[in-house]
Chains A and B, each alone.
Chain A
Amino acid sequence: MNWLSLSFKDWQRRPLRMALTTAGVAIAVAALWSLLAFQQGYRDGMQGELDRLGAHVLVVPKGCPYDAASIALHGASWPCYLQENYLKQVRAVDGVATAAPVFMNALYDEAGAQIVYNGVEPNLLTLKRGWHINGEFPRRRGEVMLGSEVAARMNARVGQNIVLPSLKARGTVCGILATTPGADDGFLFVPLADAQRLFGRPRELTHILVRLSDPDKMEGVVAQLRGCDAGLSMNVVPLTHLFHTIQNLVNSTRLMLGCITLVALLIAGAGVSNAILMAISERTREIGVMRAVGASRGDIFRLFWLETMQVCLLGSVLGVALAFAASRGVENWLRARLPFAPSGALIGWHWWTVEICFVCALILGSVVGLLPAWRAASLSPMNAMRRDGGRL
């Protein structure tokens, strides 16, 4: 019988206690894993979402630019509007390669589902390079292009004449957008003039997507945009700046969440230490016998230290598995609570998240294992073998 199988013995003796202790470690590790994976997923999701927008600068009406960016990404009704003549001024600025106007409006159908209409011009295609359209982009009056989800829900085909949902108008489906990773799947695209007419807002826009000829010259272009005549009535939002601000906000919460997770890990560690101490006090006589038949202090130390590590390692394996299984639920729970949630996956794990969890568990195990193992090793064989088992 080697030391490893000997250290497994306690599982047979006290299955309930060992299981509970391991569960404690597992819960703490699961919290840690979810936290790490969430940070990574949020960051990736945000970056991906801004990349897919295809623009470097967003021009929005007055109001909080973060709200505005969130609306532009996920689709909703806008509280204020831009005048269409601002577009000319934006296009006149040096360094602006494309300025794509959008008129967005959201309606709700009888089932409460959100229907987002986007009035767009063909130059949007130069921004959305990842798009694959089955059919054509809407250019003529009465044409409509559907996002893949909308098309599936309405069971529509290219060339079909459909009733536009929640509107008293009809349109011809000119194209269907292939599935994209973003929110575009749930949008309907119509020509800009059509959208302005349908929603009774002639010559108004909700936002302008601006792509620069050279993204490195961002500062200068933004200053020019803010300085032009229309600059006083609109907000110019550089998207990299937006990304950094949101990331900062998330980072500050990460520190606090990390602190509390650490506390949870420490509490779990104290539990492990305690459980091993209990095992030692129960097995005092056994330790005495082992010492008497020739086991050294180092052997005893190793035995109990191994036992602690086992509990921590098993706990972290179970914890990661638990977090993995629960990630869907956690994701939905988080999405309902976060103000700026990207539409992609929120929980994005990498191998290093798993590695960090294991490393944390190993460090924890080796630290909390020291005290019990040292106490067991320092028992004198004579005392340990006595009837009352030499009180610990």
Chain B
Amino acid sequence: MLLFALRNLTRRPLRNGLTLSGLAVAVAVLACLLAFGQGYRRALSAELNRTGVQMMLVPLGCPYDAAARVLKGKTLDNSLPESALAAVRSDPAVAIAAPLLLAAVPRPAEGRTDLWAGLDKTSLQLKPWWRMKAGRNWFASANSVILGDEAAAVETRVPGDKFYSPETGQTLRVAGVLERSGTSDDSLFFVSLATAQKMFKQPQRLTAVAIRLHDPAQMSDALERLQKIPGAQVVTLSEMMGTFLNLVGTVRTLLLSIAIVAVTISVLGVFNTLLTAVVERMTELSLLRALGASRSHVFGLIALESLLLVSAGSLCGLLLARGIGGVFENLVKRFMPLAPTESLFTLTPLIMLQCLSLGLGIGLLAGIFPAWQASQMQPADAVKLES
């Protein structure tokens, strides 16, 4: 019976191919969206949890925007006075307060922008992945620089090499190269805070202060006290994550609803194809009945054809989703306010199962009416239609 159904489908390669590709594209879009949403949520919380930072002190302006820029290693238009750091450190609830100064150095000749980060020693406690591939763990002198893995590869430098930065006129010595961490740190150039302030002519200024508390339960009290620091504001990372997930959730709902529209349209196509297949083969089907096939046999045959068609379509769709996942991710990442650096696209078995079962479900639905129509054929029709 399976073979028979398969042969029936291959009799009309163009028609069934068109139906199948429509369904495949719709399923692929749906799978991409589902996979992406899950990946984003997971990657975002992983990125935020790994730092162990609960709050961030940023300059005035949209704090979400500011915190997102700092996490992605982009510079801010505004900066904080260094006195804010002392104020944060004097707060009893604060365990670690790590200052950070980010500066972007555009290098149009190479077609890229280098990002420099000024750190002080407290940052090490907030970066558990700070491990050296080679060289020393910390700046040996005021003109030491530590390179991220990618930055070192681009600049082809190893520890001990000289490093001249023409834009700032500084000659530095490479102290170490970081191990690849999968975060935005990979492409950064690290120098000590004082050096960075001098290099970029930002004396006494900071871009942000990352804060870890002794006890996360003291969050709300600490928040209230820190919010009073002039020229600065505090964002908690959980708040920030909530806002972003909300925003992304909205976009995702909109996209999913249009993907559902696409699936609906492709189901109409499946229905049409099957209906025509039945009408075309009336003679053949009634002949089958005359030869002794029962109504349920005929019903089953058409239903099986429909199931075969949609499962092939869904499988092709999933394969397509795997294939275009990378392209899709690049497209989406460009528009994300806070895109984690690791892969966002996770086509989990659960999602594949969801898409497949959706495909099979609608295939059955679309197949019922044509199959029922086919089963109504009388054996005697064979003779009538023939004449």
Q: A: which residues have CB within 8 A of B?
A: 16-17, 20-21, 23-24, 27-28, 31, 35, 62-66, 80, 226, 232-235, 249, 252-253, 255-257, 260-261, 263-264, 266-268, 270-271, 273-275, 277-278, 281-282, 334, 337-339, 392
Contacts and interface: CB of A to CB of B under 8 A. Distances in A.
B335 A253 contact: yes
Considering residues A28, A64, A66, A266, which has the most beta carbons from chain B within 10 angstroms of its beta carbon?
A64
B343 interface: no
Contact of B22 (A66, A226, A267): A267
B359 to A, nearest CB: 14
B247 interface: yes
A258 to B, nearest CB: 9
B314 interface: no
Contacts of A24: 265, 268-269
Contacts of B230: 232-233
A263 B29 contact: yes
A320 to B, nearest CB: 15
Nearest to A371: B14
Interface in B17-32: 18-19, 21-22, 25-26, 29
Nearest to B14: A277
B259 A21 contact: no
Given A24-B265, A278-B15, A339-B247, A257 B64 contact: no
Considering residues B14, B25, B29, B280, which has the most beta carbons from chain A within 10 angstroms of its beta carbon?
B14
Interface string B247-264: 100110111001101101
B271 interface: yes
A259 B24 CA distance: 16
A16 B261 contact: no
B275 interface: yes
Contact of B268 (A234, A235, A271): A271
A338 B266 CA distance: 28
Interface stretch (B45-53, B55-63, B185-193, B202-210): B55-63
Interface of B: 14-15, 18-19, 21-22, 25-26, 29, 60-64, 227, 230-231, 233, 243, 246-247, 250-251, 253-255, 258-259, 261-262, 264-266, 268-269, 271-273, 275-276, 279-280, 331-332, 335, 337
Given A64-B62, A65-B61, A282-B280, A267 B262 contact: yes
A21 B233 CA distance: 57
Given A235-B60, A260-B262, A278-B15, A21 B268 contact: yes
A271 B335 contact: no
B186 to A, nearest CB: 25
A232 B60 contact: yes
Contacts of B268: 20-21, 23-24, 271
A257 B21 CA distance: 21
A213 B214 CA distance: 50
B258 A267 contact: no
Contacts of B255: 256-257, 260
Mostly, the B contact residues are helix
Contacts of A235: 60-61
Contact of A17 (B22, B247, B275, B331): B275
Considering residues B243, B251, B262, B280, which has the most beta carbons from chain A within 10 angstroms of its beta carbon?
B262
Given A63-B63, A264-B262, A267-B265, 12 more contacts: A20-B272, A24-B265, A62-B60, A80-B227, A234-B60, A260-B262, A266-B25, A267-B26, A271-B22, A281-B280, A282-B280, A392-B14
Nearest to A80: B227
A17 B243 CA distance: 47
22 contacts: A20-B268, A20-B271, A21-B272, A24-B265, A31-B258, A35-B258, A64-B62, A80-B227, A232-B230, A233-B231, A234-B60, A235-B61, A264-B262, A264-B265, A270-B269, A271-B18, A271-B19, A271-B268, A277-B18, A278-B273, A337-B250, A337-B253
Contacts of B279: 282
A64 B242 CA distance: 14
